[in-house]
Amino acid sequence: MLQAGTEIDTSEALTERQQAVLDAALRLLVEEGDNLTMTAVARRASCSKETLYKWFGDRDGLLTATVQWQASKVRVVPVDGKGLDLASLTVSLERFASDWLKVISSDTSIALNRVAVGHAGSGKDDLGAIVLENGRFALAKRLKPVLEAGRQAGFLDFSDAETAFRTFFGLVARDVQIRLLLGDRLELTDAAIGGDAVRATQQFLALYGAKTGPQGP
Amino acid sequence: MLQAGTEIDTSEALTERQQAVLDAALRLLVEEGDNLTMTAVARRASCSKETLYKWFGDRDGLLTATVQWQASKVRVVPVDGKGLDLASLTVSLERFASDWLKVISSDTSIALNRVAVGHAGSGKDDLGAIVLENGRFALAKRLKPVLEAGRQAGFLDFSDAETAFRTFFGLVARDVQIRLLLGDRLELTDAAIGGDAVRATQQFLALYGAKTGPQGP
DNA sequence: ACAGAACCGTAACGTACGGTACGCGGACTC
DNA sequence: GAGTCCGCGTACCGTACGTTACGGTTCTGT
């Protein structure tokens, strides 16, 4: 599916200064999109181009480092499936949905996805794979245990966790991400996100909720 | 939401030759992505660069013309909501789902969406708006009458057609489009598309099917 | 048949930008 | 305080590509 080796190792030992430079690059990426120049990054980060090249090799290297740097910042806490009841499962799902909507509607996510999509055509770098690995696939890895726990506890009924996850994903994201990526103004207030999260969760439970309760026949 | 004036007028009176040139540009766009050069287009189309510039103004003009040209090619037949029963509604939805999956997984759609997404950041042109208008919004315009007819006939139950449509959209597309755009290899066989279409339709009917039949209490 | 336009092929120009080289100042070592 | 290293600022180079210009060829209307 995805070639191996796209996982991020945060042990890359980035110095303070390098992180600052990457942050500057990230801000510039959000503002300028893919047409940011090395000179602009150097100026914004108050460093020399030579340093940029020494540290990151070339432009693509800088871009990948920036994307990985942002990815490494959004590490999240795993959830525990202990002592699960329907209410806590529901809030878990709602929380996942709300978090995900917040992420994909954030400026940095949009910018990052834009450049990754743009680069995905010409196989020069693996930006697309990196974004995918830290976005959609990371979400699946975090959510699936919750789904499994829900099934174990008898609240959910599905045969394939992957399919169930993708349905949940679709119910949450719908057309939001593609519209945002394509430049549609689509202001998502916190209230709207919250509403969508509970709607998606309710729909998901309606589709995959076990007909029989946890102590069913 | 989207600024006005993004609708496509096919009455742009493109000559045979111009269409051929745009077809060449389109093929090149699919192969090369956004880094296609004017020289390459001229060579592929066996025309001179001067002609390119005379006809389309500049590079962005050529790109927009190409996108509009492709968009104009996928005009579809409207459906009639007459004599509706549950079976025909179901096949209609399945057909929409299957068609949509075929579209978003096609090479040209992926390439077009890629360049449009890439250009969406820097507001130089309206590629994103054009793609959106002829993709997601065109789909909504075609599908909503079907949904309304289904409600009228008593098979569907929803308060807002827009919300219902977006749910259907999410159930059908799920993570397919973003994964493809980001370069994930994701071969969609015709069989898989067909299966997804019926699954999405069933799920949609489970969520929005009227509890009471057409002759309900 | 002939004038004129439309168009092809290619050469040329300008520029933006990726990448490199060099000089300088500050920090740290001994 | 001399030597060394790191990094900033800047000037510079090479190239790719958008855009324009021009001579030759084909099409079109009369």
Measure A47 CA to C26 C1' (Å). 15
Segment B49-73 shows an average pLDDT of 90
Return the pLDDT at A124.
80
List CB contacts (< 8 A) between A203 and chain B.
Answer: 167, 207
Q: Determine whether the interchain pair A171/B170 forms a contact, defined as Cβ–Cβ distance below 8 Å.
A: yes
Tell me how many domains chain A contains: 2
List CB contacts (< 8 A) between A33 and chain B.
Answer: 118, 121-122
Is the CA virtual torsion B15, B18, B24, B28 positive or negative? negative
pLDDT at B9 over 80: no
Measure B13 CA to D18 C1' (Å). 26
Domain of residue A135 covers: 86-208
Are B29 and B40 a contacting pair, CB within 8 Å? no
In a domain, A7, yes or no: no
List CB contacts (< 8 A) between A2 and chain B.
Answer: 184-185
Q: What is the C-alpha to C-alpha distance for residues B60 and B37, in angstroms, rounded to an integer?
A: 11
pLDDT at B128 over 80: yes
Return the pLDDT at B84.
82
In a domain, B9, yes or no: no
Residues A122, A143 within the same domain: yes
Per-residue pLDDT tens digits for A50-76: 888 999 989 999 999 999 988 887 766
Segment A1-8 shows an average pLDDT of 38
Check which CATH number belongs to the domain holding B110 and give it.
1.10.357.10
pLDDT at B67 over 70: yes
Check which CATH number belongs to the domain holding B69 and give it.
1.10.10.60
Q: What is the C-alpha to C-alpha distance for residues A116 and A147, in angstroms, rounded to an integer?
A: 29
List CB contacts (< 8 A) between B113 and chain A.
Answer: 117, 178, 182
At B153, list the tokens: 């006939």
Residues A69, A90 within the same domain: no
Are A139 and A177 a contacting pair, CB within 8 Å? no
Q: Which bases of chain C are under 7 A from a protein CB atom? A: 7-11, 16-23
Residues A193, A90 within the same domain: yes
Return the pLDDT at B10.
43
Q: Determine whether the interchain pair A184/B1 forms a contact, defined as Cβ–Cβ distance below 8 Å.
A: yes
CB burial of A91-109 (b: ≥16 within 10 Å; e: otherwise) equals ebbbebbbbbbeebbeeeb
Measure B48 CA to C10 C1' (Å). 9
Residues B90, B193 within the same domain: yes
Q: Determine whether the interchain pair A2/B184 forms a contact, defined as Cβ–Cβ distance below 8 Å.
A: yes
What is the percentage of chain B residues whose pLDDT exceeds 90? 67
Return the pLDDT at A92.
92
A54 touches strand D (CB under 7 A): yes
Last residue of a domain, one of A23, A42, A73: A73
Segment B169-175 shows an average pLDDT of 98
Last residue of a domain, one of A39, A73, A107: A73
pLDDT at B2 over 70: no
A202 touches strand D (CB under 7 A): no
In a domain, A195, yes or no: yes
What is the percentage of chain A residues whose pLDDT exceeds 90? 62
List CB contacts (< 8 A) between B172 and chain A.
Answer: 170
Return the pLDDT at B204.
98
Return the pLDDT at B134.
92
Nearest CA in chain B to A199: B167
At B15, list the tokens: 């000559």
In this prediction, residue B141 has a pLDDT band, given cuts at 50, 70 and 90, of very high
Q: What is the C-alpha to C-alpha distance for residues A2 and B15, in angstroms, rounded to an integer?
A: 43
Comparison of pLDDT for B110 and B126, the residue scoring more: B110
In a domain, B81, yes or no: no
A20 touches strand D (CB under 7 A): no
Per-residue pLDDT tens digits for B81-99: 567 889 999 999 999 999 9
Per-residue pLDDT tens digits for A199-214: 999 999 999 998 765 5
Comparison of pLDDT for B123 and A30, the residue scoring more: A30
In a domain, A1, yes or no: no
Residues A46, A93 within the same domain: no
Q: What is the C-alpha to C-alpha distance for residues A202 and A77, in angstroms, rounded to an integer?
A: 24
Q: What is the mean pLDDT of chain B?
A: 87
Residues B56, B96 within the same domain: no
Q: Determine whether the interchain pair B183/A120 forms a contact, defined as Cβ–Cβ distance below 8 Å.
A: yes
Q: What is the C-alpha to C-alpha distance for residues B58 and B61, in angstroms, rounded to an integer?
A: 5
In a domain, A213, yes or no: no
Distance from CA of A184 to the nearest CA of B (A): 6
Residues A168, A134 within the same domain: yes
Measured between CB atoms, which of A111, A167, A169 is closest to B203? A167
Last residue of a domain, one of A48, A73, A98: A73
In this prediction, residue B6 has a pLDDT band, given cuts at 50, 70 and 90, of very low
Question: Which candidate, A16, A197, A214, places its Cα nearest to that of A91?
Answer: A197
Segment A140-153 shows an average pLDDT of 93
The burial of B120, by beta-carbon neighbours within 10 Å (0-12 exposed, 13-18 middle, 19 or more buried), is given as buried
A3 touches strand D (CB under 7 A): no
In a domain, B99, yes or no: yes
Residues B57, B90 within the same domain: no
In a domain, B60, yes or no: yes
Per-residue pLDDT tens digits for A79-113: 665 678 899 999 999 999 999 999 999 999 999 99
pLDDT at A4 over 50: no
